[in-house]
Amino acid sequence: MAEPLWTAAEIASATNGTASADFTASGVAFDSREIGPGDLFVALSGEMTDGHRFLNQAFGQGAAGAIVSAGCEYPHVRVANTTIALDALGSAARERMAGKVIGVTGSVGKTGTKEALFAALDRMDPGCAHRSVKSYNNHTGVPLSLARMPRGTRFGIFEMGMNHAGELTELTKLVRPHVAIVTAIAPAHTAFFRDESAIADAKGEIFVGLRSGGTAIIPYDSPHRDRLIAAAKPHAEHIVTFGLGEGADVRPLERMRTLTGGTFVTARLGNSEVSYTISQPGDHWVSNSLAVLAAVQAVGGDLAVAGLALADLAGLAGRGARFTTRVGGGEALVIDESYNANPSSMRATLAVLGAQSAERKLAVLGDMRELGEDSAAYHAALAGPVGEAGINRAILVGEEMKALANALEGRVDFVHVPDAAAARDSLLNELAPGDAVLIKGSNGVGLAAVVSALAGKG
C-alpha cells in the first residue's frame, strides 16, 4: 500500500494546528472542484469567497480531511489562518524532500520549460519527478504545488510567477531551489514596472532562495544578462548562461529545421556535446531547450535521455498545442497559443506561423494586457512581425488591438472585432481547407473559447 502524502498528525505539526481525528491524505487541493477521494481540502478564505462554504461539497467528493480556521463537523486540522497553514505545509514538504529542486521563472517560456524539465527527469527516473501543474505559480499555487510533492520525490520542478516586485522573493524562499532558471526577460506586466530593467530585477529575485552550492541559469542573449548575473552572484556558487549567442556556456553548434517543423540541434555544454531534436517549432523553443539541458546537467541528470524527452514533447494547451479541425471538404491547422501574450511571445509565435506551410495563414490576435502607458506602441509594433510572417488575414480582438489595426491599414487584410465571440464567428465563416491559424492573446480576452469551438469540429 502506497505511503500517504500526509497524516493528520503531520499536518497538525507542520501548521501548528489541532487535529480532530486521525486521517491520511493522498492529495491536496484548495479548489473544491478538484477534490477527489482521499484528498486534503484547504479551506482558504479570501476577498472573493470562503472555502469553508464548500466543505460539504469537498467531503461529498471524497475528501479525507480539511484544514480549517472555523468549526467543522468533518475530520480536520484547525488552524488560526488557513493561508499561512498552506505555506507551512508547503515548507514542511520541501523540508522532508531529499532530492534536487529546480525553480523556473521568466517573462515567457516558464511553463513550457517547466514541463520539458519534468518530461526529461521523469523519463530518467519514472515516478520520481514532481512539478507544479497548470500555471500554479503564485502565492497560493506555489505552496500548494509543494504540499502535493510525494515523500520520495527525487526531482521537484516549480514554476514561479510575479507581476510586482518582491513577490518572487517570498516564493523562492518557500521553494529553496538548488537550481534557479530565468528563461527570458520581456515587456510583460509593464503596467506595474517603470521599465524592462525593473522586470529583470524582479525576476532576479529567484536567486535569493538558492540553496548553498546552487546554480543560477541565465539567458545569455538577454540585454539584461549582466544585471541578472549581478543579482545571482551573492547567492549562486555556479552561474551558467544559455542562448543562441557564441559566448553562451550552453549554446547550439548547429541547428536545422526538421520536416515536421521542429529543430535538430547539436549543443555544447562546457566540455560536453549532445545532439537532439525538439518537437516544438521556433527559435524560442531552441532557447528553452538549452535552459532545460543546463538544468538537467546541474542536477546530475542524463542529457541523452533529456534529448529523447524533448523529441517527444507535445504542445501544451494554450501554449503551442496543435490540432486539425474539419472545414469544408478538408482540414485546417490550429495553433493554440490562447493562454497568454506579451510583445515577445507574440513575435515568436508569429514567426512560427510564418514558417508553417499552408494555403493561407490566418492569425486571431487578442489584446496584450497589463502593458501600461506604452500599450498602444507595443500593439502597433506587431505590424512588422505580422507582415514578415506573411499573414493573409488577421482577426484582431479587443480595444487595445485598435493600435495594431491602425498600423496594418493598407498593408494586411484584417478585421477588428470587440470580443472572442465575434472573433469565433468571423473565423468560422472564413476558415478554409489548407489554412493554418494562430490563436493568441492574453488569457482575459477569452480566446480559449475560439479554440474550443474549433476543437469541437475536429
- Tell which residue, 219, 342, 358, 353, has the closest CA to residue 290: 219
pLDDT at 15: 98
pLDDT at 456: 83
Query: Among positive and negative, which fits the CA dihedral 68, 69, 73, 75?
Result: positive
Q: Specify the pTM.
A: 0.85
Residue-range domains of the chain with CATH: 6-82 (3.40.1390.10), 97-312 (3.40.1190.10), 321-455 (3.90.190.20)
Whole-number Cα distances in Å, 40 to 74, 88, 148, 158, 340: 12, 15, 10, 21, 31
Give dist(CA 196, CA 186) in Å, integer. 7
pLDDT at 1: 55
Label each residue of the chain as H, E or C.
CCCCCEEHHHHHHHHCCEECCCCEECEEECCHHHCCCCEEEECCECCCCEHHHHHHHHHHCCCCEEEECCCCCCCEEECCCHHHHHHHHHHHHHHHCCCEEEEEECCCCHHHHHHHHHHHHHHHCCCCEEECCCCCCCCCHHHHHHHCCCCCCCEEEEECCCCCCCHHHHHHHHHCCCEEEECCCCCCCHHHCCCHHHHHHHHHHHHHHCCCCCEEEEECCCCCHHHHHHHHCCCCCEEEEECCCCCCCEEEEEEEECCCCCEEEEEEECCEEEEEEECCCCHHHHHHHHHHHHHHHHCCCCHHHHHHHHHHCCCECCEEEEEEEEECCEEEEEEEECCCCCHHHHHHHHHHHHHCCCCEEEEEEECCCCCHHHHHHHHHCCHHHHHHCCCCEEEEECHHHHHHHHHHCCCCCEEEECCHHHHHHHHHHHCCCCEEEEEECCHHHCCHHHHHHHHCCC
pLDDT at 8: 98
Q: What is the pLDDT along the chain (458 residues), one digit of tens a residue?
A: 578 999 999 999 999 999 999 999 999 999 999 999 999 999 999 877 899 999 999 999 999 999 999 999 999 999 999 999 999 999 999 999 999 999 999 998 999 999 999 999 999 999 999 999 877 889 999 999 999 999 999 999 999 998 889 999 999 999 999 999 999 998 776 677 888 999 999 999 999 999 999 999 999 999 999 999 999 999 999 999 999 999 999 999 999 998 888 999 999 998 899 999 999 888 999 999 999 999 999 999 999 999 999 999 888 888 888 999 999 889 999 999 998 899 989 999 999 999 999 999 999 999 999 898 899 999 999 999 999 999 999 999 999 999 999 999 999 999 999 999 999 999 999 999 999 999 999 999 999 999 999 998 54
pLDDT at 331: 95
pLDDT at 189: 67
pLDDT at 232: 98
pLDDT at 134: 77
Give dist(CA 374, CA 441) in Å, integer. 17
pLDDT in tens, 115-141: 999 999 999 999 999 999 877 889 999
pLDDT at 458: 42
Q: What is the dihedral of CA 249, 255, 257, 258, to 10 degrees?
A: -100
pLDDT at 457: 57
- Tell which residue, 131, 201, 130, has the closest CA to residue 164: 201
